[in-house]
Amino acid sequence: MLRRQLIAGLVAGWQNLVTRNRQNLAHLMPPQSTALLLDVHTRMPVAIHGAAAGMQLVPPGSTIKPFVISSLLRAGKLSTEESFFCPASLKIGGRSFDCTHPRFTGAIQVRSALAYSCNCFVAHYARRFQPGELARSLERAGLGALTGWTEPETTGRIRAAVGEQANQLQALGEEPLLLTAAELALGYRTIAIGAERPEMGPIIDGLEDATEYGTAQLARVAGLKVAGKTGSVRTRSGARIAWFAGFAPSRTPKVVVTVMLQGRSGGSDAAPIAGRILEEWRAGKLR
């Protein structure tokens, strides 16, 4: 009985903290949007905005790419020295996933592929995964797991991809891969915790470059090095979802931020919101 009362008290205290911080984010958020600010060290949310944070399942789009590339690197199926000439055009199962980044004059490597979110690069190397290999790697990163941050909460859907096209679609964050904003925050915490490991260098470099000159430039914060990734995806129902996920400071992370809302572009719709959240955290307004 005493143990149950203690747990209930802790949960109530946490819920009160989250409720207070929700009010702190409201002025930064457009209608029907979701955001989380997560303390890397304690694993506890600093702030949550949006009732759907732990319930709404949507495809994560390109925010999944750092997990895909790091999985390939760890498995020895991709090296940081490998180069790829992006053809710009990409068709998978009759659907178009053409790259929208500037045309490259030469071959690109991991760092630039992340900075510019090259679909062709990721889809090309995703063919090297064995059936179910990527799904298992995503689960080990904490994706698809209950976080305990919201009530109620649902788990993501990470199915074993079988076949070349299924691997490619999963690596691009397309359905049937579905996650909540809370799960994505937990996954990016896994990346943040390992940011100082040498083998994560190319991943962190690419995420830093994304905010410096790539797809996530609008998440930049003066005086704060941010590592982040955008995502733009359309659900099977036709809804357009814009994502941003990242952490700061990039080399010694203290907070993770995820933003999800209906919008056409993660870079133009979600990244600016993430930048404003990080600005307020840096100013001491979110603790």
- Indicate whether 17 belongs to any domain: no
**1 part of a folded domain:** no
Q: What is the mean pLDDT of residues 79-104?
A: 95
Q: Closest Cα to residue 134, out of 179, 75, 61? A: 75
Q: What is the residue-averaged pLDDT of the chain?
A: 92
pLDDT at 8: 45
Closest CA to 178 of 118, 130, 115, 243: 243
In terms of Cα–Cα distance, which of 117, 116, 108, 260 is closest to 184?
Answer: 260
Domain assignment of residue 92, yes or no: yes
Residue 16 lies in a domain: no
Query: In b/e form, how buried is each residue of 147-173, taking b as 16+ CB within 10 angstroms?
Result: bebbeeeebbebeebeeebbbbbbbbb
Which pLDDT score is estimated for 2?
52
Rounded Cα distance between 157 and 209, Å, is 30
Q: Is the pLDDT of residue 263 over 80?
A: yes
Query: How many domains does the chain contain in total?
Result: 1
Print the domain residue range for 257: 28-282
3-class state of residue 103 by DSSP = coil
- Summarize the confidence of residues 132-152 as an average pLDDT: 94
pLDDT at position 25 is 86
User: Does the structure show a pLDDT above 60 at 12?
Assistant: no
**Distances, alpha carbon 124 to alpha carbons 12, 35, 89, 242, in Å:** 48, 32, 12, 24
Tokens of 84: 């790829």
Q: Between residues 97 and 151, which one has the greater pLDDT? A: 97
**12 inside domain:** no
Encode pLDDT of 97-129 as tens digits: 999 999 998 999 999 999 999 999 999 999 999
pLDDT at 116: 97
What is the structure's pLDDT at 81? 93
| Residue 3 is assigned to a structural domain of this protein | no
Using a pLDDT cut of 70, give the percent of the chain over it. Answer: 92
CATH number of the structural domain spanning residue 248: 3.40.710.10
Model pLDDT for residues 17-73, shown as the tens digit of each residue: 544 454 578 889 988 899 999 999 999 999 999 988 999 999 999 999 999 999 999
> 3-class SS at 264?
coil
46 falls within a domain: yes
Structural domain includes residue 142: yes
Instruction: Report cis status (omega within 30 of 0) of the bond before 272.
Output: no
